[in-house]
Amino acid sequence: LAVKDPTAVERANLLNMAKLSIKGLIESALSFGRTLDSDYPPLQQFFVVMEHCLKHGLKVRKSFLSYNKTIWGPLELVEKLYPEAEEIAASVRDLPGLKTPLGRARAWLRLALMQKKMADYLRCLIIQRDLLSEFYEYHALMMEEEGAVIVGLLVGLNVIDANLCVKGEDLDSQVGVIDFSVYLKSDDDIGGKERNVQIAAILDQKNYVEELNRQLNSTVSSLHARVDSLEKSNTKLIEELAIAKNNIIKLQEENHQLRSENTLILMKTQHHLEATKVDVEAELQTYKHSRQGLDEMYTEARRQLREEAQLRQDMENELVVQVSMKHEIELAMKLLEKDIHEKQDTLIGLRQQLDEVKAINVEMYQKLQVSEDAMKEKNEIISRLEDKTNQINATMKQLEQRLQKAEKAQMDAEAEDEKLKEEYVNKSESLQNEFSQKEKQLLQLETDLKIEKEWRQTLEDDLQKEKETVSHLRTETQEIVNLKKEFLKLQEKNKQLKSICEDQEAALQELASKLSESKLKIEDIKEANKALQGQVWLKDKEATHCKLCEKEFSLSKRKHHCRNCGEIFCNACSDNELPLPSSPKPVRVCDSCHAILIQRCSSTVP
């Protein structure tokens, strides 16, 4: 016989025990006929079996004090994998009586059974075997196929309704021992097969009802999602309606603005016509004044011609009247031509404005078509807008008709002017033959008037030139004043720069003098060094007296040795000090060679 794997035998035993405990729990619960309490023995045995199944193959974890081996670690992972398990984990952690991880795991199993989601939670754990490998060995029940079978068996526990009080129980100190006497068969069990068949039918019905409830819950959730989507679409449609209403209001405001602009244009044209009438009246008055001057000239000519016959005087009067009429007609023609040109300009401007209004109306009509496609319920508002646009077109047509009438009136006036011209030409031809001599005199007078006008024009041109020169001179004077101000500013800047330059030059001179002095001293020191290169330092034992004062050296009179000449002085005689840039204090210098002295103790050797 082949030797079986002990771990496989353990898994098979635990699977069989789980089958027996789950089957016995379901049968006893259905025969019991009401919700189960925590004191119900089959339920307690079921939790013990589940503990043994979950503990199988657990890895031992080291802690600070001892080794730890609990099932709370893998169960705590469920809340990360299944978000609905967060409530169970939080409530288990908040329970006051639980102190050990095993007690928390037992409370978690009881709460999961009451929620009827133990199978779902453990299925999430079995799927994530990579995470379970941190807590279980590779041969553990939860890592093999037996764990999936147990999870499938746990689905049947959804038939049971349990009401367990977790808060008051002492889950930390319970001892989990399996009572096998509950699962051994007896003679009474053989006679209860019919009961089992009935219980199985009841279980099937209950499972069917629960599946229907789940399907209904799923349909309700889908209907809720549809309702939310419909509410969102309704809100979007309401927003689009509000946007369309705002667009319609804007279009109405644009229509009002266009109407107001049309009224303003009509008012401007009326004011312009009134202004032209005033100008015409002013020109007529000036013409009358000039006519008075000409009448005076004519009276003087008449005084000269009083000797002529009365018939000639009558003809002259008629000629004067006709000439004045001719001038008036010419001026009237010029004024009419000006009015015609101005009216043509206004007509061109009005036509351009009409084209712009038509283009705007076309754009408005396109926008209204788009709004019709988007919102069919607003057709009445759009029809009102179209009626308003038709009214605007009708008013524009009326304006065009008025313009056409004005053009016809202009054509009639031109025809009348041509007729008057023809009559005047016929009369003038008949009179020119008779009064050619008088025309010569009039020509002379006109030439005199032209000369006077030219003289006036020359005077006006001279005045304009003088004004231009005066303005030019004023601008030049302003430029000169500005240049003076800039010149003064530049002078001040120049003075400041000169003062700065003088200061810098003085500083440079000082630096140059100091440099020259330092160069001279350096040259003197170099010459002294050259002169004393062949000398040798005295030994420290031989130098007992100062060279200058000839006194013995002591603690108060220290030795100062010259680097170049080798002579030794006391600190009282070597008073010459020289400041150096590299040292903060002045340095003692030799009297003979001006070299730096070194303070020596009796033990030092040169």
CATH number of the structural domain spanning residue 595: 3.30.40.10
Q: At which of 122, 154, 179 does a domain end?
A: 179
Give the pLDDT of residue 426: 78
Residue 437 lies in a domain: no
Domain containing 587: what range?
559-601
Mapped onto helix, strand or coil, the DSSP state of residue 37 is coil
pLDDT along the chain (606 residues), means of 10: 75 89 85 76 87 86 58 87 87 86 89 89 89 88 89 87 80 76 60 63 77 86 89 90 91 89 88 85 82 77 76 80 84 84 83 82 78 72 76 80 81 80 74 74 81 84 84 84 87 87 85 84 78 60 72 69 64 56 55 55 34
* Contacts of 601 by beta carbon, 8 Å cutoff, 6+ apart: 559
* Contacts of 118 by beta carbon, 8 Å cutoff, 6+ apart: 109, 112, 154, 157
Which residue reads 């430029």 in tokens? 479
CA gyration radius, the chain: 64
Residue 470 lies in a domain: no
Rounded Cα distance, 494 and 286, in Å: 66
Q: Quick one: which of 109, 94, 100 has its CA closest to 52?
A: 109
Q: Is the CB of residue 398 less than 8 Å from the CB of residue 350?
A: no
Residue 510 lies in a domain: no
CA distances from 14 to 48, 54, 70, 491 (A): 11, 10, 18, 111
What does 357-403 look like in DSSP terms, one character per residue? HHHHHHHHHHHHHHHHHH-GGGHHHHHHHHHHHHHHHHHHHHHHHHH
Strands 559-562 and 577-578: unpaired
Mapped onto helix, strand or coil, the DSSP state of residue 278 is helix
User: In CATH, what number is assigned to the domain containing residue 148?
Assistant: 1.20.58.900
Distance of CA 135 to the CA centre of its chain: 51
Count of domains observed in the chain: 2
Give the pLDDT of residue 214: 84
Mapped onto helix, strand or coil, the DSSP state of residue 536 is coil
Residue 147 lies in a domain: yes
Amino acid occupying residue 150: I
- Tokens (6 digits) for 39: 């004191």
Q: For residue 40, which phi and psi values (nearest 5 degrees)?
A: -75, 120
Q: For residue 173, which phi and psi values (nearest 5 degrees)?
A: -100, 10
CA distances from 61 to 7, 89, 134 (A): 20, 22, 10
Q: At which of 179, 205, 240 does a domain end?
A: 179
Strands 559-562 and 568-570: antiparallel
Q: At which of 133, 150, 179 does a domain end?
A: 179
Residue 395 lies in a domain: no
Mapped onto helix, strand or coil, the DSSP state of residue 56 is coil
Residue 278 lies in a domain: no
Q: pTM score, two decimals?
A: 0.35
